[in-house]
Structure 1
Amino acid sequence: MNSDTLILILYYSRQGATARMAQLIAQGVESVPGCSARLRTVPGVSADCEASSPDIPADGPPYCEMEDLRECHGLALGSPTRFGNMAAAMKYFLDGTGAEWHAGSLCGKPASVFTSTGSLHGGQESTLLSMMLPLLHHGMLIMGLPYRDSGLMQTSSGGTPYGVSHWAGANQEKTISAEEKSLCILQGARLARTAQALRSRHA
């Protein structure tokens, strides 16, 4: 059995920016010795009741299963902004985790959130806060990014103390900036170290 501290990085991405952030957070997780990252996504939803997603994604990581939530020691949750809120696909997935809430599968585990927006003031912070709410209901320990060592004061694009963010531009023309990349990696490493420390205290 793998004894690594496992961090689940669960995200939804349409244009690729949130997926790229997830990969950078995974890089931060795996920079911590004894920690590993598991990337998972969720299927899209549609207003058309006849539309459905394939059982297996055409590319990228697999869809998240409830087992992934049970097995992880920490969680990073990511979504693009939709009118200042998380995307419907992520909300739909979280709405289906009632059994894990009842079992306390995530209770006491650390969590962080991340997002990507089309405009600089497009609801980054409210989206991050919206993603925290179901995690608090699950009893998770919410982590942000401290100003002390995160370089938040230097960024002119994405980044918040509630979690890392990325300003993608209206047409997704903006690549992840050096500051955003650094914040993603930092957030992943900080989450991993915290999960590792909590796990060792309860060993």
Structure 2
Amino acid sequence: MMKILVLYYSKHGGTQQLARAIARGVEAEGAEAVLRTVPDLPPFGAQHNQSSNGNASTDPIVTLNDLKGCDGMALGSPVRFGNMAAPLKQFIDSTSKDWLSGTLIGKPAIVFSSGSMMHGGQETTLQSMMLPLLHHGMVLVGLPHSEAALHSTVSGGTPYGPTHLTSESQRSLTADEKALSLAAGKRLAAVAQKLKE
């Protein structure tokens, strides 16, 4: 069975919601979604306390073996000043051996993000996650404009990947955000299957 790694960091739960919706799309295509997260980092200047993790996720922590065993990957982060969050970047920075050995070459990938402002940097955050994936030789898969929700969304969702706009009044994914996340997961699994064949 095809295994798609859905790897993300989520501080307040928005990115985790996207990860779960993408995983449902992956599984709708008959592939296995492997949900993984990364450990939180201590605040700048503070001592790290392993027992208090600010990560909103209850999913297992990713290992480098998860990269070796996947047929494709969805990578997600909340917006941090238009960039991916430091805990996710720290994990990516630890993958040099996999880069040298070509672990991810030729495997498809998507990116996803959540943020609390309409113009807070969702698209640049997606692009910041694309760069290391390109260095790893992965095949980036976007959302084509044939997805109707791209034309109707007034919250999250871009051709670069699914996004979620969270606010005090809108904590859950909108119908369009769910539709785009499901579509992205299905598309990723379908492309992974074609590339494997």
Q: Secondary structure at the match of 1:152?
A: helix
In the TM superposition, residue 45 of structure 1 has moved relative to its aligned partner by 1.0
The one-character-per-residue Cα deviations of 1:147-189 (angstroms, maximum 9, x if unpaired) are 01342011010000000100002x4743210000000000000
In structure 1, the partner of 2:183 is: 186
The structure-2 alpha-carbon separation of the partners of 1:103 and 1:55, relative to structure 1 and needing over 3 Å to count, comes to farther
Contact 1:45 1:52 in 2 (8 A): no
Contact 2:17 2:172 in 1 (8 A): no
Select between 23-32 and 51-60 the one with higher mean Cα deviation: 51-60
| Cα RMSD, aligned residues only | 1.8
Q: Secondary structure at the match of 1:48?
A: coil
Alpha-carbon distance in structure 2 between the residues aligned to 1:72 and 1:150:
29
Query: Mind listing any 5+ residue stretches in structure 1 that lack a counterpart?
Result: none
Q: Would you say 1:162 and 2:142 are equivalent positions?
A: no
In structure 2, the partner of 1:84 is: 82
Q: Would you say 1:144 and 2:142 are equivalent positions?
A: yes
TM-score (norm 1): 0.91
Alpha-carbon distance in structure 2 between the residues aligned to 1:195 and 1:55:
36
Which amino acid is the alignment partner of residue 110 of structure 1?
A: P
The match for 2:174 among 177, 184, 189 is 177
Q: Secondary structure at the match of 1:120?
A: coil
Q: How does 1:110-149 map to 2 (within 5 A)?
A: 110-149=108-147
Q: Secondary structure at the match of 2:153?
A: coil
Q: Secondary structure at the match of 2:103?
A: coil
Q: How does 1:49-128 map to 2 (within 5 A)?
A: 50-54=47-51, 60-128=58-126
The one-character-per-residue Cα deviations of 1:118-141 (angstroms, maximum 9, x if unpaired) are 111110100000000000000000
Query: Mind listing any 5+ residue stretches in structure 2 that lack a counterpart?
Result: none
